[in-house]
Amino acid sequence: MWWAVARRAAAPAFIGSLASFTAYSYCEKPARTKEQAEETAAVVAAAVAGQKKPPQRTLSTLTKEQADGQKQVLQALLGQMIDDVDRTGGVGELQQTLTKLEDELWARGRVHRIVITGGPCAGKSTIMSDLVQMLKERNYLVFTMPEIATEMFKWSDGKMWDDFSAQGLDDDPVWASLQTSLTRVQTVIEDSIVHMAHRSLSKRRKGPNPPEGAVVLLDRGVIDNVAYCTDEAWAMVLEDLGTTTARLIDRYDHVIHLVTAANGAEQHYTLEQAEGDGSEESARSETPEQARQLDGRTLSAWQETKSHFIVGNAGVTWPEKRQKAKAILGMLLGDASSGGLMQKLQCAYLPPQVILAEAAADGEIPWVVSKHVKTTYLSDKSRLQKTSPGNGGAGAVLYFHQDLDADGHVARQYAMDYWTYTQKLRTVLSSRSDALAKAGVGDSDAAEWGGQLREVREEIVIFAFGDNRIRCRCSEERSQLEVEVCSSLPAEQVLPPWLRQAKAPV
């Protein structure tokens, strides 16, 4: 982004001008003349405006007394700069302010793409209405995307399924042509909505009450189509579209899966859709057993997504299910009061290979994936994270910036692109290197003086068990296993038996 480049380019020059101005301003002997004061003011004004600076005084043009005084002030200023580096985790005061401003603008400029998915009769329409109201109350711009399959069913006057499924779902070429059309239409409409969201957010940010951000809520994403295809048919869809499943998954930021009422709330399962008035034919035709199968296939289709949450029916009422969905969305947007859903257990260490093998052998676990994570600590208050597919899996490489609270937990997180990720690393490393060099610390002693950033490498294993998505963070270096689950029930109650045995803290 042009403004990010501009701020990065301007920061060193502005810091240098500020240092010169500070050294000259606080030099008591000799006192500045009117001409010197005007010259200094011109330097600062030129730096702020981005203009070429006028000639400045150097030590060689000063008297010996002036030069000695200037050197003393510069030495004191250098000491203060080194103290600032230590105190702020490697970034000078001004540059830290600019970085925070850039982070804030990035976060406010983000358009969050959140998919609400699940099996038939899961409560998507009602819960989406809840989420829209919640977002508006929190001053977010909200855009919604309807379920394209339902819309195309209406557009075809109910003939779509009959014409394309006359031979059954096993007629791959015919069924794949329908799914290709669905996917193509959906991606075009999604891209149009996201474009409008960016434009609207950009304009409204300049107003007196700028929005906190923009959210696009989607009633299903294109990956939901996988659940309605055979593997062969979906391969045809991808070939026709010239894309991959991983690329389609990367279109979205978060996925909230609502479990069908046919699984755990059978008495409430119905073919009638919430948004209908009963006068039109419903696009829903699945039996409860078919609904459960589609729910499982949908959950499995999204397994590689970067941020995935499950809202089930076991042990909760319908109002509680709706409330949990709202709490998850609040947590994704940085609401600290929603953090109670995320529970973590420190367990006896199990290598990732063991967890993968146990999960693969467990008949109640439909899928399991793993990821490599590299975390780079910029300071005790912030860190960068790079996530890549593990165990030979497919998927995109993802980058995140995370702000930490006093306990070291993630208080706020947002995704970033590769360029921004590398620029942040370079900026912090350059600041530390410059400060240590001015302090006379060589490269061989940089690690001891904090000139290098601390890195932590971990393997994360993720799988679905019941109504929950279990996340196991394995650190071989520290022989630690942290298990994370998003549930309103105690975490120990939702773990598989073989993992529950390792729940005792080390």
Residues 275-325: tens digit of each pLDDT: 554 445 455 567 889 999 999 999 999 988 878 999 999 888 999 999 999
pLDDT recorded at residue 54 = 40
DSSP state of 97: H
Contact 252, 243 (CB under 8 A): no
Percentage with pLDDT > 90 across the chain: 23
Say how far apart CA 190 and CA 52 lie, in whole Å: 46
Q: Is the dihedral of CA 358, 359, 365, 366 positive or negative?
A: negative
- Structure confidence by residue, pLDDT tens digits, 36-61: 555 555 544 554 444 444 444 333 44
Phi-psi region of 56 (alpha: psi -120 to 50; beta: other; left: phi over 0): beta
**Residue 5: per-residue pLDDT:** 39
Read off the pLDDT of residues 103-146 as tens digits, 9 standing for 90 and up. Answer: 555 555 678 899 999 999 999 989 999 999 999 988 999 999 99
175 membership: H or E segment, kind and range:
helix 172-204
Is residue 195 exposed (0-12), middle (13-18) or buried (19+ Cβ within 10 Å)? exposed
Tokens at 440, concatenated: 């006379």
Average pLDDT, the chain: 75
Sheet holding 410-416, edge to edge: 342-347, 480-486, 468-475, 454-465, 368-377, 382-389, 398-404, 410-416
Asked whether residue 85 carries a pLDDT value surpassing 90, the answer given is: no
- Residues 240, 290 contacting (CB under 8 angstroms): no
Give the model's pLDDT for residue 355: 92
Is the model's pLDDT at 221 over the cut of 80?
yes
pLDDT digits (tens, 9 = 90+) for 367-391: 888 889 999 988 888 899 898 887 7
> Which residues 6+ apart lie within 8 Å of 174 measured at CB?
164, 165, 166, 167
The pLDDT of residue 180: 92
Model pLDDT for residues 353-370, shown as the tens digit of each residue: 999 999 999 988 988 888
pLDDT at 452: 64
**Residue 447: pLDDT band with limits 50, 70, 90:** low
What angle is formed at CA 342 by the lines to CA 462 and CA 221, rounded to 5 degrees?
A: 60
Nearest to 112 by CA among 356, 383, 344, 413: 413
DSSP state of 61: G
Phi and psi dihedrals of 326, rounded to 5? -65, -40
Q: Do you know the residue count of the chain? A: 506
Helix (H/G/I), strand (E/B), else coil: 411 = strand
Which pLDDT value is given to residue 202? 82
pLDDT single digits (tens) 393-427:
666 788 888 888 787 777 677 778 888 888 888 88
Q: Which amino acid is at 132?
A: V
Query: Is the confidence at residue 86, as pLDDT, over 60?
Result: no
29-38, 78-87, 294-303, 327-336: least confidently modelled range = 29-38
For residue 422, which of 401, 396, 393, 446 has the smallest C-alpha distance? 401
Q: Which is higher by pLDDT, 399 or 3? A: 399
The CA-atom distances, in angstroms, between 320 and each of 116, 121, 307, 486 are 17, 16, 22, 14
DSSP code of 191?
Answer: H
What is the rounded CA–CA span in Å between residue 121 and residue 124? 8
Contact 209, 123 (CB under 8 A): no
* Cα–Cα distance measured from residue 241 to residue 305, given in angstroms and rounded to the nearest whole number: 20
pLDDT band at 156 (very low <50, low <70, confident <90, very high): confident
Give how far Cα 22 sits from Cα of 40, 92, 104, 172, Å: 10, 15, 28, 74
Share of the chain above pLDDT 70, in %: 66
pLDDT score recorded for residue 258: 95
Instruction: Please state which of the ranges 52-66, 155-169, 428-442 shows the lowest mean pLDDT.
Output: 52-66
What digits encode the pLDDT tens for the residues 302-315? 988 878 999 999 88
In this prediction, residue 174 carries a pLDDT of: 82
- Cα 106 from Cα 75, distance rounded (Å): 36
How many other C-beta atoms are found inside a 10 Å radius of the C-beta of residue 454? Answer: 12
The DSSP element (H or E) to which 434 belongs, if any, is helix 418-438
- The closest of 254, 256, 226 to 241, measured between CA atoms, is 226
Whether 156 contacts 214, CB under 8 Å: no
CA nearest to 341, candidates 147, 182, 486, 501: 486
Distances (CA, A) of 219 to 59, 116, 149, 257: 68, 5, 10, 11
Tokens 């991606």 — which residue? Answer: 187
Cross-strand bridge partners of residue 376: 384, 455
Domains observed in the chain: 2-88 (no CATH), 110-333 (3.40.50.300), 368-416+453-500 (no CATH)
Sign of CA dihedral 312, 316, 322, 325: negative
pLDDT at 82: 52
- What's the confidence (pLDDT) of residue 490? 81
pLDDT value of residue 26: 33
Distance CA 385, CA 383 (A): 7
pTM exceeds cut of 0.75: no
Can you tell me the distance from the alpha carbon of 435 to that of 428, in angstroms, rounded to the nearest whole number?
A: 11
Of residues 315, 317, 265, the one with CA closest to residue 288? 265
The pLDDT value given to residue 30: 40
The 10s digit of each residue's pLDDT in 167-187 is 555 567 888 888 898 999 999
Evaluate the omega torsion of the peptide bond into residue 55 and state whether it is cis, within 30 degrees of 0.
Answer: no
The yes-or-no verdict on residue 477 having pLDDT over 70 is yes
Q: What is the mean pLDDT of residues 329-339?
A: 73
Residue whose structure tokens are 């709490």: 327
Of 142-156, 210-224, 274-288, 429-443, minimum mean pLDDT range:
274-288
